[in-house]
Chains A and B, each alone.
Chain A
Amino acid sequence: MENQWFTISVYSENNVGLLNRISGIFLKRHINIESLNVSKSEIDDVSKFTIVAHTTEKWVHNIVGQIEKQIEVIKAYYHTDDETIYQESALFKIASGLLFDERQIQNIIKDNNAQIVTVSRDFFVIAKSGRRNEIEEMYDQLKPYGIMQFVRSGRISVTKDEMKISAILKEF
């Protein structure tokens, strides 16, 4: 079986220590977490972990089984990229002078559908959401001008199919 990208979605209670429990399942199997995002979900009091891993379907099946077994986990799913709508967000901090000296930067912002979040005397910040490759393309374009700081978030995703968490919650 070949390695591929999987997005694991975990609906859970919001409890101290659960992240440790979930990350430990990857650790035990020597599988790296490529990205991780924790947020509220569409249901009040229910958290959602979005975890991206590059592994085989056999292992992702095993991992999701073990995650779902944790007491505070309501339901866990795994999906391939085709089955989800997914994005990441990035922030670029650039020296303010460049915005005026290098006209090309404004074009890069426009062409990439990015936004200027803030401008101050010393620096300005560009926000860009999109697929990993889109953010990386923009990174490559800005790199020659000098990037003071860069950060990219973990993947967030929603599935094309329904997840039916509310129905599952009613069963407990």
Chain B
Amino acid sequence: METVKEKKKGTDSKKTIQISGAEALIHCLLAEGVETMYGYPGGAIMPVYDELYKFQDKLTHILTRHEQGATHAAQGYARVSGKVGVAIATSGPGATNLVTGLADAQIDSTPMVCITGQVTRQLLGTDAFQETDIIGISTPVTKWNYQITEASEIPEVMAKAFYIAKSGRPGPVLIDITKNAQIDKFDFSYEKCTAVRSYKPVPKPDATAIQAAADLINNAKKPFIVWGQGVILGQAEAELKELVEKTGIPAAWTIMGASALDTSHPLNVGMVGMHGNYGPNVLTNECDLLIAIGMRFDDRVTGNLDFYAKQAKVIHFEIDPAEINKNVHADVAVLGNSKDTLGLVLPLLNKNKHESWHNLFKEKYKIEFDTIIKNDIHPTKGGLTMGEVIEEINLASNNKAVIVSDVGQHQMIACRYAKFSQSKSNITSGGLGTMGFALPAAIGAKMGAMDREVVAIIGDGGYQMTIQELGVIFQHRVPVKIVVLNNEHLGMVRQWQELFFEKRYASTVMVNPDFVKIAEGYSIEAKRISERKDLKSTIQKMMASKEPYFLEVKVQQEDNVFPMIPSGASVSDVRLK
């Protein structure tokens, strides 16, 4: 790339070289700082793979065993590193297999660039072999997408793709490249994109709104902060911490916001939402000021909107103008990057304490601890619980692990009980709820943060949706720790069937294979435990291992996750049993 970037001596014109579209694509990826990408080859993307072969010393391509795995790995990589994840696939079925990952990245605002091969331009619209309209298919689940039909479009479009994926509210971008555009040669030069007419990624903070927010915060008697992933994406962790410490305001998080503030921080009062903590949910309807930071009032957070924080004024710190008043009316909307807006509001805030208000959260926590948490994480009888497994992982990792969870009961338990001491540590499919996310996402997370311990927490259902990605762990010896919490059921659906469908367990009983043998088939050290006495030592052994490790924990089959806000109920009506 150095040679490509150099300018000719004595002239302003950029030096160009005649290369194929496929080679140009590799230069674009290198110029954007891509080191690792995930994908699967096929006919319409072969010229690009041929170049990947030539550039394998500079750009690592990981062959996942399914294109969906490539997207989730790219997501895991992006979520721990803050960089853009890259996935690549061929046309037709290769491209359609990316759709779930695109939808997941779209709803969870994950920066990702997906590249697909496409039949040659002359064949477009002829129902050619492996032709599919991936632009049409991916439109609703991408921040932007574009079909390249001429090689010369590649540099500008790729630069735009990376810029759009990572700027403002991040999201997935899909670039479809016809085969002729990969093969044809053109004069290549590359320039990073810094602006797109018609696209304003970050709204300018408005001084009046900042002042109005500060006034509301300074005058509130029972203020309550709920933050989301916007704090992590905006790199505003320090500002959030300063905000809660200066004002003494209790703060809770959405599932996507987890780990932005240390879980042990005294003012961190836990998770909001359907299976969130009791205090934050109930007290949402008692606060006089709700300060929402980088969150979007998802229905799993708010429950029934007709009974959500109706008594409170609402300040909404948000980067995306379309989120303002979408679900909850904001009395004050502070638009902008969370780091900038919190930074601007902080000097205007009075030092304060809200002890008696904070004490209410502590009282509610005690109720929740006595009725639920104690038995979840320190059970003394009965089968193993999911909660005690998470607690042992906290202890063995000193709260430093990246926890990648799949979707279902184990996910809620992992997010409730995992302890985090640094940001970007909770990787989960929050918005889309994609079963099968965790195993490939954990592979990507490990590759995106090689210095960190990565533990995948997966149910026996979701594990079998992307189990083939064990092949990647096997081939590359990716040292992830895989913990399957096996209750022999699709646990969350079974819980709903128990509570709302009179225990008619339709298709939720799992007949599982021998997971240990499967892992061993991939040469991964594997162990199964079912007794409490083996838990601590096995988890310690797993965490001490420098190699990939598979642990199956047989847990109670018909355990339920509580607290729970039943679908359509108010946050005040959170059930403890």
Contact B195 A69 (CB under 8 A): no
Check A17 against B198 for contact (C-beta < 8 Å).
Answer: no
A28 on interface, CB distance cutoff 8 Å? yes
Residue numbers in B under 8 Å from A20 (CB-CB): 135-136, 139
Query: Which B residue's beta carbon lies closest to that of A66?
Result: B322
Interface readout for A77-88 with B: 1 if CB under 8 Å, 0 if not?
000000000000
A143 at the interface (CB under 8 A from B): no
Which 3 pairs across A and B sit closest by C-beta, in order of nearness? A65-B322, A74-B198, A71-B144
Instruction: List chain B positions with a Cβ less than 8 A from chain A.
Output: 135-136, 139-140, 143-147, 164, 195-200, 320-326
Give, as a whole number of angstroms, the nearest-CB distance from A69 to chain B.
Answer: 5
Bound: A16/B139 CA distance, A: 12
In the complex, A134 has a CB within 8 A of chain B: no
Q: Please state if B198 and A24 are interface contacts (CB–CB under 8 Å).
A: no
User: Do A71 and B139 have beta carbons less than 8 Å apart?
Assistant: no
A90 to chain B, nearest CB (A): 32
Q: Which residues of B contact A68 (CB under 8 A)?
A: 321-322
A169 interface contact, C-beta 8 A: yes
- Residues of chain A within 8 A (CB-CB) of B139 are 17, 20-21, 24
With contacts A65-B326, A68-B321, A69-B320 taken as known, whether A172 is within 8 angstroms of B135 at the C-beta atoms is: no
With both chains docked as a complex, state the minimum distance between the C-beta of B247 and any C-beta of chain A, in angstroms: 30
Tally the A-B contacts, defined by beta carbons under 8 Å: 51
Q: Could you list 13 further interchain pairs (A-B, Cβ under 8 angstroms) beyond the known A17-B146, A171-B200?
A: A13-B198, A17-B139, A17-B147, A20-B139, A21-B140, A24-B139, A61-B325, A65-B322, A65-B326, A71-B143, A71-B199, A172-B198, A172-B200
* B147, B195, B198: the one within 8 Å of A12 (CB): B198
Cβ contact of B197, chosen from A13, A61, A62, A69, cutoff 8 A: A13
Can you give 9 A-B contacts (C-beta < 8 A)? Answer: A17-B139, A17-B145, A17-B146, A28-B140, A68-B322, A69-B321, A71-B199, A74-B198, A172-B200
Q: Mark A134-172, 1 if CB is under 8 A from B, else 0.
A: 000000000000000000000000000000000001011
Q: B168: shortest Cβ distance to chain A, in Å? A: 9
In angstroms, Cα B196 to Cα A12, docked, is 12
| Residues of chain A within 8 A of B164, CB atoms compared | 71
* Contact (Cβ within 8 A) A172 B195: yes
* A60 within 8 A of partner (CB): no
Q: Is A91's CB within 8 Å of the partner chain B?
A: no
Task: Report Cα–Cα, A11/B199, bound state, in Å.
Answer: 12
Is A73 touching B198 in the complex (CB atoms < 8 A)? yes
Instruction: Give the Cβ gap from A20 to chain B, nearest Cβ, in Å.
Output: 5
In Å, the complex CA distance between A74 and B326 comes to: 20
B200: A residues at CB distance < 8 A = 171-172
- Name which residue of chain A comes closest to B324, CB basis: A65
Contact B140 A24 (CB under 8 A): yes
Interface: A72 (CB within 8 A): yes
Which residues in B have their C-beta under 8 angstroms from that of A65?
Answer: 321-324, 326
Report the bound CA distance from A46 to B324 in whole Å: 27
State whether A69 touches B322 (Cβ < 8 A). yes
CA–CA, A68 and B135, complex, Å? 20
Chain A residues in 8 Å Cβ range of B320: 69
| Chain A nearest CB, measured from B153 CB (Å) | 12
Query: How far apart sit A13 and B145, CA to CA, in the bound complex (Å)?
Result: 14
Q: Which residues of A contact B326 (CB under 8 A)?
A: 62, 65
Shortest Cβ gap from A120 to chain B (Å): 36
Note all chain B residues with C-beta closer than 8 A to A73. Answer: 198
Query: Which B residue's beta carbon lies closest to that of A63?
Result: B322
CA distance A16 to B133 in the complex (A): 13
Complex formed: what's the CA distance from A62 to B200 in Å? 18
Residues of B within 8 A of A66 (CB): 322
Are B196 and A71 in contact, with the CB atoms below 8 A?
yes
Contacts of A61 in B (CB 8 A): 325
Contacts of A17 in B (CB 8 A): 135, 139, 145-147
Whether A169 pairs with B197 at a CB distance below 8 angstroms is yes
Report chain B residues within 8 Å CB of A171. Answer: 200
Contacts of B144 in A (CB 8 A): 71
| CA–CA, A13 and B198, complex, Å | 7
Q: Could you tell me the distance between the alpha carbons of A62 and B198 in the complex, rounded to whole angstroms?
A: 19
CB distance from B116 to the nearest CB of A (A): 15
A21–B140 CA distance with the chains assembled, in angstroms: 7
Nearest B residue to A69 by beta-carbon distance?
B322
Assembly CA distance A73 to B199 (angstroms):
7
Chain A's closest residue to B199 (CB) is: A71
* Chain A proximity of B233: nearest CB distance (Å): 16
In residues 1-17 of chain A, which contact B (Cβ within 8 Å)? 12-13, 16-17
Among B197, B324, B325, the residue within 8 A (CB) of A172 is B197
Residues on the B chain within 8 Å of A172, using CB:
195-200
Asked whether A71 lies within 8 Å of B135 as measured between CB atoms, the reply is no
B147, B198, B324: the one contacting A71 at CB < 8 Å is: B198
Q: Which residue of A lies closest to B168 (CB)?
A: A69
Complex Cα distance, B326 from A172, in Å, reads 25
Beta-carbon nearest neighbor of B322 in chain A: A65
Report B-chain residues with C-beta under 8 Å of the C-beta of A28. Answer: 140
Interface centre among B139, B143, B198, B325 (most CB of A within 10 A): B198
A24 to B141, CA, bound (A): 10
User: With the chains together, A27 CA to B139 CA distance in Å?
Assistant: 12
Task: Chain B residues near A71: list those with CB within 8 A.
Answer: 143-144, 164, 196, 198-199
Question: Which residue, B164, B199, B326, has most C-beta atoms of chain A within 10 A?
Answer: B199
C-alpha spacing A57/B196, complex, angstroms: 30
Q: Nearest B residue to A17 by beta-carbon distance?
A: B135
Which residue of chain A has the shortest Cβ distance to B200 in the bound complex? A172
- Give the chain A neighbours of B197 by CB distance below 8 A: 13, 74, 169, 172
Residue of B nearest to A45 (CB): B197
User: In this complex, what residue of A is CB-closest to B164?
Assistant: A71
When distances are taken between beta carbons in the complex, the residues of chain A under 8 Å from B143 are 71
Residues on the B chain within 8 Å of A27, using CB: 140
Residues of A with C-beta under 8 A to B199:
71-72, 172
Who on chain A is nearest to B326 by CB? A62
Chain A residues with CB under 8 Å of B145's CB are 17
Query: What is the CA–CA distance of A24 and B325 in the complex, to the nearest angstrom?
Result: 21
User: Which A residue's beta carbon lies closest to that of B136?
Assistant: A20
In the complex formed, the residue of A with least CB distance to B144 is A71
Residues of A within 8 A of B195 (CB): 172
Map CB proximity to B onto A31-63 as digits: 1 under 8 Å, 0 otherwise: 000000000000000000000000000000110
Known interface pairs A62-B326, A65-B322; A72-B198 also in contact (CB < 8 Å): yes
Min C-beta distance of B375 to chain A, whole Å: 42
The docked-state distance in angstroms from the alpha carbon of A71 to that of B193 is 14
